[in-house]
Structure 1
Amino acid sequence: MLALSRKKNEAIVINNNIEITILDIKGDQVKIGISAPKEVPVYRKEIYLQIQEANKAAADAEGLDALKELLK
């Protein structure tokens, strides 16, 4: 993992097309802004993990249904 120090209004650039800017710092909370192309999905990690779990559950359910059909 790369760890960088940034101050308010400073930014980092990823892959020439994603910019992350520090918007505000209050106590232990940092507000960031992310500029990225529309085709690049950006999620909070907890939401990303929920999406992954939902996708896994859906794939498992679809696979089970297909297996049931094959065994008929």
Structure 2
Amino acid sequence: MLVLTRRAGESILIGDDITVTILGVTPGGVRVGIDAPRDKGIHRAEIVVAVSDENRGAVQSSSDEAAENALLNALGRRSETE
């Protein structure tokens, strides 16, 4: 990981087409502006992790339900959700 010190108004260039500018620094956080092509995805990491965890849970739940239905079908019964 590259660690740089920047002050408000200073920028970092990433490749030829991405500019990260420090807009302001307060005791509560840092405001960052990102100028990048529209085809570049820019997401807050905590949101990506939360969505990924939610998707993983949904797939597991769906998989568990499918396994339960298969077992009930094998036993000649129907699930309560049908």
* C-alpha distance in structure 2 between counterparts of 1:56 and 1:45, whole Å: 16
Gaps of 5+ in 1: none
* TM-score, normalised with respect to structure 1: 0.72
- For these two proteins, the number of residue pairs brought into alignment is 72
Q: Assess, with a 3 A threshold, how the Cα gap between structure 1 residues 42 and 60 changes in structure 2: closer, same or farther.
A: same
Name stretches of at least 5 consecutive residues in structure 2 with no aligned partner.
Answer: 74-82
Could you say which residue in structure 2 is the equivalent of 1:37? 37
Measure the CA separation in 2 of the matches of 1:59 and 1:38: 30
With a CA cutoff of 8 Å and minimum separation of 6, indicate the structure with the bigger relative contact order: 1
TM-score of the two chains, using structure 2 as the length reference:
0.65
Q: Does 1:54 align with 2:59?
A: no
When Rg is computed on C-alpha atoms for both structures, the one with the higher figure is 2
Classify 1:16/1:67 alpha carbon distance in 2 versus 1 (closer, same or farther; 3 Å).
farther
